[in-house]
A and B are shown apart, each in its own frame.
Chain A
Amino acid sequence: MLVAQVREIVAKKLETLDGVVALKEEQHRVAPYLFTAGDDLSTLVLEPRYPLALVVHEILKRRPDVRIGVVTRGCQERALVELANWKQLSLDQVEIIGFPCSQEQAEACRCEMPYPTEIVAGERAQGVVDQVVAEFRASKTREERLAFWQRQLGKCIKCYGCRSICPLCFCEKCAMEQETWVTRGKLPLPFPTFHLIKAIHTAGAGKCVGCHACEDACPADIPLSILYSLLRQDLKETFGYEAGAQHSGNPPVLLLKEQMAK
């Protein structure tokens, strides 16, 4: 069984690492946890999918002295690689213990690479080509699409969940909190500014890895992944850039900044 094999490998890794981030299940509650040497690994689980790269980053920000592992799917490995590309952490401090997503999961996430670069157990599922944007455009006229987004984004309760859960949202001064764009304490939100800031700063900047953590965290069920899929597609077509696909990749935004400075 996949989880049993992962647990064995984590036990071995704990001989040399300061800890391993993974999901822990206790009395039907599942939450991220840092397993350390001597911990009972029978509580380590692989489900549900979770933005563990966020947890790794939070830990490394405060403990630059440790070296930790993380039991992760493809998207979270890509999130960690992209965080390193943006110089937010050092991959020297992280050891990926990868496992593949199931075929069902790959289809639910419309994921082209539902596995990390290396897996310790299990079998890779078939990648899925993300057709949602093409399907969306084909099924609605331009006016219908505008009405759709007005309705969907109008449901927003300004919880900042999409921002808070995103592994790639690391800015200390977040644009979504700047008075210039977003008036404090006011609802409904400016359409489409609020959501486009998030979309452009993550997906548009080549940071979004398509992990769907934002959509999972949205209490208003806004289909954020459709919006972000569109921008990720644009990034790929225009700049040939995919978040987390390469180490020391040059995020297009940073490249433009360099060019402007010249």
Chain B
Amino acid sequence: MGSPAIEFLEGVKTMQKITYSNIETTCIYCGAGCGLNVQVLDGQIIGVLPSTSHPVSHGQLCIKGWRAADFVNHPERLRTPLIKVGGKFVESSWDEALDLVSDKLAEAAQAHGPDSLGFLASAKCGNEENYLLQKLSRAVVGTNNVDHCARL
């Protein structure tokens, strides 16, 4: 396999107590909200199983539901905000990204009026988060231009 250190670590892993469980959660992909079980083996997600006890999905899933846990450890998953600098995306911090966004939104609202902005809510957000977004749009910025990602 490789160095003695790696072999030792592989050996330790196989002596470890095995754990396997299913964590029931709700699929994040659309408004149906199907129940699914995330299979976790030795602390790692290995896949998804439908939830037989769920009142919405009754042990069934669509293709997106079956793949709902794939993004968690996907190599292309974004792990930091990205800001475009000189035509290229550069990793940044949340503070930097949020400051930039609020500055630019305020600029646009000032220069072209609140209705020059639009806000799109998401099926991947909870109801509470979508409520906050429309509050931001209507009460903070002052525009009714708020809709849902299904319109895209």
Contacts and interface: CB of A to CB of B under 8 A. Distances in A.
A31 B20 contact: no
B60 interface: yes
A31 B46 CA distance: 15
B53 A217 contact: no
A61 to B, nearest CB: 9
B60 A58 contact: no
Interface residues of A, number: 33
Interface stretch (A118-126, A145-153, A158-166, A247-255): A158-166
Contact of B60 (A34, A55, A66, A161): A161
Contacts of A62: 41-42, 46
Nearest to B21: A33
A107 interface: no
Interface stretch (B61-69, B84-92, B104-112, B139-147): B61-69
20 contacts: A18-B18, A28-B53, A29-B24, A29-B51, A29-B53, A31-B21, A32-B22, A34-B21, A36-B17, A50-B52, A55-B39, A58-B39, A59-B18, A59-B41, A62-B41, A159-B62, A160-B63, A160-B66, A161-B50, A216-B60
- 4 smallest beta-carbon distances between A and B, as pairs: A34-B20, A31-B22, A219-B60, A65-B14
Contacts of A29: 24, 51, 53-54
Contacts of A63: 14, 18, 41-42
A21 B62 contact: no
Contacts of A216: 52, 59-60
B47 interface: yes
Nearest to A48: B52
Q: Is the interface of A mostly helix, strand, loop or mixed?
A: mixed
Interface of A: 18-19, 21, 24, 28-34, 36, 48, 50, 55, 58-59, 62-63, 65-66, 68, 157-161, 164-165, 216-219
B19 interface: yes
B42 A217 contact: no
A58 B61 contact: no
A19 B18 contact: yes
B62 A219 contact: yes
B49 interface: yes
Contacts of B37: 31-32
Given A28-B53, A58-B47, A160-B66, A34 B61 contact: no
B19 A217 contact: no
Nearest to A47: B52
A225 to B, nearest CB: 15
Nearest to A28: B53
A31 B49 contact: yes
A157 B62 contact: yes
A119 B69 CA distance: 36
Contacts of B21: 24, 31, 33-34
Contacts of A159: 60-63, 65-66
